[in-house]
Amino acid sequence: MANMRAARLVEFGKMVCEEIPLFEPEEGQVVVKNDMAAICGSDLHQVYFGTYNINFPAEPGWPGHEGVGEVIESRYEGLKAGDKVLTVPGAGFQRCFADYQTLPGHWCLKLPEYDGPVEDLLMAQQFGTTIYALRRGNFDFTGKTVAVLGQGSAGQFFAWQAKHLGAENVVVTDLSQARLAQSDVFGADIAVTGDADGQAVKEAVMDSTNGRGAHIVIEAVGRSETIRHAIDIARPGGNVVFFGLPEGSDDVPFNYMKFFMKQLQMYGVVGAQAEEDMSSFHKALDWIARRQIDVTQMVSHRLDLEDIDRAMLLAHERDEDALKVTLNFDS
């Protein structure tokens, strides 16, 4: 059995690179040689905040779930060796922080023809999850005011979709100046530096809506304070989407009277990989490949797998103006 390098979480906030045996495929699975992987905000919640119960050391390659690579072995009817794929693994197979990943073939999407770098197509994993999230709500964005809390890659994709689908005014907020600086590329009309009590974004939303609030609020952070801010800035009869992975399992207090009297509709969304036809991910690949959306400036840092701990820290603390951080597997 061949060996491979794999990142491994050995304690909260600490990842190392180890050599381990390659996972052999079962029926219906494929082995993908990874070209590149990206760090998602949900990875940071799990590595630093312990969102789920974890036995240390964690599974090799976990919690990586954004990857592109080449199929080298297939026991899945729809794929063959040599196929280039986007991998979107669901629970139990989120192991793409490794030279190779073994996963069910239905979580691999063939890459379309594209004359740009493969890292652009890698962005389709995160993009697809946001497409899936908004499909759940079946919103009419035309002429609406939309507020997006958080401008990581997910938040930027939400802002782009809102504008693409007809929103009149898109207000975004984040703590990172680097993220806010490019938010207009993704459709933001107003970009606000976040603060602890949410006053800055509240003022921006209220000023642009004559005090009514946003028709649609998308929370793409997962922190208790931004959850409260989302309810605070939604207009009566508005909609709130909770997309950010929770930072923990503790109860989150919020103003129930405000929620009740505003008659808000709210839902949380996770698990885009459960979509039977993977159409949200296919749509994301198509939009990127046809250059309907420009993702060429989204990746700010490209590190080797051996530097996994530094890569995580960059993404977590946003040092050096980090936006999207990727891992390469050329070594």
Q: How does pLDDT run across 107-129, given as a tens digit for each residue? A: 999 999 999 999 999 999 999 99
Q: Evaluate if residue 82 carries a pLDDT over 80.
A: yes
Interatomic CA distance for residues 39 and 49, integer angstroms: 15
What domains are there in the chain, each with its CATH number? 3-123+298-328 (3.90.180.10), 127-272 (3.40.50.720)
Residue pointed to by tokens 């890698």: 122
Q: For position 317, what pLDDT does the model report?
A: 84
**Mean pLDDT along residues 60-68:** 97
C-alpha distances in Å from residue 50, one per residue of 44, 243, 245, 246, 249: 9, 18, 11, 10, 9
Interatomic CA distance for residues 312 and 324, integer angstroms: 11
Higher-confidence residue of 290 and 248: namely 290
Rg of the Cα atoms in the chain: 20
Q: For position 51, what pLDDT does the model report?
A: 65
Confidence at 321, pLDDT banded by 50, 70, 90: confident
**Mean pLDDT along residues 148-177:** 97
Interatomic CA distance for residues 146 and 122, integer angstroms: 26
pTM higher than 0.85, yes or no?
A: yes
Cross-strand pairs, 68: 36, 86
CB 240 within 8 A of CB 230: yes
Confidence at 55, pLDDT banded by 50, 70, 90: confident
Confidence at 54, pLDDT banded by 50, 70, 90: confident
CB 24 within 8 A of CB 1: yes
What are the pLDDT digits (tens) for 173-199?
Answer: 999 999 999 999 999 999 999 998 999
- Is 189 in a helix, a strand, or coil? coil
**Mean pLDDT along residues 264-281:** 96
Q: Evaluate if residue 331 carries a pLDDT over 60.
A: no
Percentage above 90 pLDDT, the chain: 89
Confidence at 319, pLDDT banded by 50, 70, 90: low
Q: Evaluate if residue 53 carries a pLDDT over 80.
A: no
Confidence at 62, pLDDT banded by 50, 70, 90: very high
Interatomic CA distance for residues 62 and 97, integer angstroms: 6
Q: For position 2, what pLDDT does the model report?
A: 84
Confidence at 1, pLDDT banded by 50, 70, 90: low
Q: Residue 261 is encoded by which pair of tokens? A: 């009297």
What are the pLDDT digits (tens) for 19-45?
Answer: 999 999 999 999 999 999 999 999 998
Q: Residue 322 is encoded by which pair of tokens? A: 């980090």
